[in-house]
A and B are shown apart, each in its own frame.
Chain A
Amino acid sequence: MEMKVKSHGRVSKRSQYKRYTRSRAGNVLFFTFLTLFGLFSVLPLFYCVITSLKPLEELLIVPPRFTVSRPTLQNFTELPGLLASLRVPLSRYIFNSVFIALVSTILHIICSAAAAFTFSKSKLKARTLLFTIVQMALLYNAYTLAIPQYLIFSKTGIIDTYWVYILPAIPSAMGCFLMKQYIDSAVPDALLEAARIDGAGIMRIFIQIVMPLVKPAWLTLFLFSFRDMWSIVPSGTIFSEQLKTLPQVMTSIAAGGIARTGSSMAASVILMLPPIIVFWLTQSNVMETMSSSGIKE
């Protein structure tokens, strides 16, 4: 209740001040720009959803329409049948995707938080150097590291197993970096000091005090990691059909020409829904975490 009153006070103060720095011409410019970019952003996704709801007759109309007159879920219900030739049931791909996304995301959050806590609050001499290295690694992602990583995968023998998805996803530099910056700003040393006086050890401080306090940060890591892992398509590291993920088989549906357009868009809709739901569940926490995401030099 108090928080609400506070933020309300803030808003009115801001708008009062806004009056003399905001010109009408500027507002029009802002509005036009936002509308144009908003349409550019949304229309393709909208078209994707519309196409997924079109029955075959409507898919073949020339020129194509950007609306659907008799929406149907046929494209969605047809999906399992389209995959029948692969001898692995659709449910297996769904299981793989969910399993890989959840396991790697949870391990990523735990490992990143533990490392970030050490980087932020320990007095180890190496911590600054190690964190600098992690921060430098923000530049490189799975795509740029693909070839050297491929060598490591084959030397460690994890190619064509679940590990090849999960293990490299755990030490993502961005997660650890965001977590460390958030712990710096949200976990006061005095609080840890008090727990210390009460006799808590480092492990207990981490689990019982730090983890609950940095909930916004781990929800943020959940969103980013889940998004990445849910849409992962491995290149050259998975050969067994029963280890493939949903986006991997969905891409092959798209290769089937005009008759498959509806099904391919239905597959895209199914793939885009979970990350969107996760975003709406976590968005206020994500915004709070991102406000401490700056790199100080």
Chain B
Amino acid sequence: MTVRMSLLGLSGGLMLAALGMTFLYAPTDAVLGISQRIFYVHVPLALVGFLAFAVVAVCSIGYLWKGSERMDNVAYAAAEIGVLFTSLMLITGMLWAKPAWGVWWSLSPQLTTSLILWFLYVAYLMLRAYAPPGETAARYAAVLGIIGFIDVPIVYMAARWWRDLHPNKVLGPLAEESALEPSMQITFLVSILAFTALFAWLLAERTELRRQETQLERMRYTYGQA
């Protein structure tokens, strides 16, 4: 069994566990009601999106330092998957905001900085799509991938630095111990593991696809020259 197949199996199993726990094990929130269950998909999507952009930044530094094509392929794949996760985070956030706050969107600092993050990495993908293939485009994209990551800690800290509608943090350095009750905490952690495994599988598959794309590009060029 290949690593990619193992990752698919792991993410599938964890996702089923996370879904089961979200709907059958975690209690209904006393204040927000059943809409609070969106939390088990919305927050893991946000956190794994941050992880994806961290991978972009690390691999971009690696590419600029060593010039390794593999690093560039992983950065490209992680950026695409990060944009997917962040898009879904914004959509599920809006679907939770309407019942919780009565509005689809608000210009709160955390929402605004999250939207900026999304735009930054959409710009990264547009740069990769429209710039002529080659080292120059990869280098510009790597710089954008590193600069874009500066917004990630800003998104996380936004609720502390400015007045924001978002509740207290449940994970990371700003997390409060009593933010979630134990059964909610376990469900939340299983959801994070499930989305992280899904990210790992998608990253492996997308990196392989990117490798095929560059190989084909090279073969077409060589065949055209011959």
A binds B: no
Chain A residues within 8 Å of B, Cβ to Cβ: none
